[in-house]
Amino acid sequence: MKVLVTGATGFIGLVVCRRLRSAGYTVVAAVRRSVPVPHAEETVVSGPLSGMTDWSSSMAGIDAVVHLAGVAHTRARALLYDVVNVAGTASLARAASIADVRRFVFMSSVKAGAEYSETQRGEWVRVRGDMPPRPQDEYGRSKLAAERVLYDTPALEPVVLRPPLVYGPGQKGNLAALTHLLRRGVPLPFRNVQNLRGLVHVENLASAVLGALEVGVPPAAPVTLSDVELSTPGLIQALASNAGVEPRLFSLPESVLVGMAAMMAQRGTMQRLLGTLVLDSSLARDDLGWTPDLSIVLGADLRRPL
């Protein structure tokens, strides 16, 4: 089977391409400009991702699409999310449908469904893909809009994956920033935070992509999945263990932390560090046959797969 992979040179894409190649798939990497891509047998230059991207020639001989490319962290206007995440996905979906490429695996985000878990009778409610969506920012709303485009595209068989924060070698975003602070010995005021956040290892996420390609009937709802749940102090301890440093944790009231973050225009980031987000992975296990490959969770002393 020949699979077109967008975002093939990214943190997730490199692992997905390697896993696909090892599983016997022929990997065709879609890149913005001509660059070598490890584990890809072919490359196609698509240019920037938008509603104007011409995918017609890229679909020749393709059996399935794995769409990983998108904009996640940007200070640009919200329009960029619409151009890349929504219109770019729509143009790729249309091209796949016209070429009769039915299976389309889309890397969405749990943020398309929810930013936090709610409580019910004193228990945290695990977020599932079939719950009414509650995106809280432009990124989450753009991912939700892209999902809806896929479900509405004729003749397409979309499998939508909604991972939480993805960790592993080469991890980016907030995890990389936290690790940088720990290596510099910066004290962090999260010692008494009592929350839980779901995460997924990049290798385990790649195995879910394989399951999404191989499943007979695609799930009717987006698939949420995580392989570990950690508190913010537990996450910091694990990152510090991997970095070979001792974390410097102290405590401040949450109200003070939120106020300080608001003054620095970082309220959203702080709320994620303080809030709880736990996911239901049953659809991944039952429909995709997903079993996390790795039990190593960020640090040698934290081996707790769900």
What is the CATH classification number for the domain harbouring 26? 3.40.50.720
Strands 223-224 and 123-124: unpaired
Cross-strand pairs, 45: 31
Handedness of CA 86, 90, 91, 92 (dihedral sign): positive
How far apart are the C-alpha atoms of 154 and 13, rounded to whole Å? Answer: 26
Contact 276, 127 (CB under 8 A): no
Q: Is residue 140 part of a domain?
A: yes
What per-residue confidence (pLDDT) applies to 75? 60
CA 58 and chain centroid, separation = 25
What per-residue confidence (pLDDT) applies to 305? 34
Q: Is residue 180 part of a domain?
A: no
Written as six digits, the tokens of 87 are: 């219109």
What is the DSSP-derived secondary structure letter of residue 85? I
What per-residue confidence (pLDDT) applies to 293? 74
Q: Is residue 230 part of a domain?
A: no
- Give 78's Cβ-side CA count (13 Å radius): 7
Q: Is residue 267 part of a domain?
A: no
The residue ranges of the chain whose pLDDT is under 50 are 296-306
Q: Is residue 271 part of a domain?
A: no
What per-residue confidence (pLDDT) applies to 69? 95
What per-residue confidence (pLDDT) applies to 74? 61
Amino acid at 151: Y
Name the residue with tokens 């206007």: 77
Q: Is residue 112 part of a domain?
A: yes
Handedness of CA 255, 256, 260, 266 (dihedral sign): negative
Output the CA angle 272-273-276, nearest 5 degrees.
Answer: 65
What per-residue confidence (pLDDT) applies to 295? 54
Q: What is the number of structural domains in the chain?
A: 1
Q: Is residue 237 part of a domain?
A: no
Range of the domain at 64: 2-166+200-224
Q: Is residue 184 part of a domain?
A: no
